[in-house]
Amino acid sequence: MRLILLGAPGAGKGTQANYIKEKFNIPQISTGDMLRAAIAAGTALGLEAKKVMDAGGLVSDDIIIGLVKDRLKQDDCANGYLFDGFPRTIPQADAMKEAGVAIDYVLEIDVADEVIIDRMSGRRVHTSSGRTYHVKYNPPKVEGKDDVTGEELVQRPDDKEETVKKRLSVYHEQTEVLVGYYGDWAKSGQPGAPKYRKIAGVGAVEAIRDAAFTALSE
């Protein structure tokens, strides 16, 4: 199973990625993790990336694709792999295609912006334990207090409504075009084209998981 997960930030990709990884026994490919590992290992690409990052620059798509190709040669990718958060742009998707990175499925988790804003802006966290609550869907027994310790709950900066709206705006501008890109490629019937599947990311987590498994078996 070689797949790409698409969806807006807060659509629940991380949760579903964990279920998919376990079911198909495949690793999640994170460009951030790959960069850190390559830099720590002192590989040629890692050193190149470190030089760019130390200078405050953005690591080029060429370096990222090089890292991806190296990563996919590792033993844990024998059964496949899952990309979440990459590619983010059309040039990155093109570069993956040109590099011959095989993809069986592209799975889009679709959630409306207003649902994501409601979902994320309502989250509250107990910092020291990591326990999470939601003001509407999973409220603490005492408003603003952790159930176990009674300590204050906080809203993470990433969960503030204005931050969520900005992240969604960036997604719509830069990454949502991949929906059309992969959808069109899937319809083209070209050799090597992936299957494109779309599921709704609302409702019980287990129901979304089952919909994802069904979509990936069609």
C-alpha pair distances (Å), 49 with each of 13, 91, 216: 27, 18, 34
36 is catalytic: no
Catalytic residue among 23, 51, 156, 160: 156
141 is catalytic: no
Catalytic residue among 165, 167, 195, 198: 167
2 is catalytic: no
88 is catalytic: yes
Catalytic residue among 21, 69, 88, 198: 88
Catalytic residue among 2, 71, 119, 123: 123
131 is catalytic: no
Catalytic residue among 2, 13, 124, 197: 13
Catalytic center residues: 13, 88, 123, 156, 167
